[in-house]
Amino acid sequence: MTKELKKAELIDSITERVDGVTKKQVHDVLQALADTVTYHVQEGTKATLPGLGKFLLTERAARQGRNPRTGQSIQIPAAKTPKFQPAKAFKSAVSG
């Protein structure tokens, strides 16, 4: 089973590592970071967090699909989806 780092645990961990910051300040910064990255990616701008990775918007073209229940051919519309590309240092640290 995979462990999950909850938002409160992340805030506690950062607060322990950085002297002089409160949990409220860390919460506010994390929220501002998420809002800022989301806004810029929605606008089509690549958002890079050094040492972590890049968030970007990709576009999928419309395509033919098949309904698995009926086997009937369906048209799947074009879509914009967020994508994350991990930084080399992050990938190296995680893979060991």
Domains of the chain: 7-95 (4.10.520.10)
pTM above 0.95, yes or no: no
pLDDT tens-digit map of 9-46: 999 999 999 999 999 999 999 999 999 999 999 999 99
Mean pLDDT for 46-58 is: 96
Hey, what's the torsion of the CAs at 17, 18, 24, 26, to 10 degrees? -80
Q: Is the pLDDT of residue 96 over 90?
A: no
Assign residue 73 a region (left: φ > 0; alpha: ψ between -120 and 50; beta: otherwise): beta
At 80, is the pLDDT very low, low, confident or very high (cuts 50, 70, 90)? very high
Query: What's the half-sphere exposure (Cβ side, CA atoms, 13 Å) at 23?
Result: 7
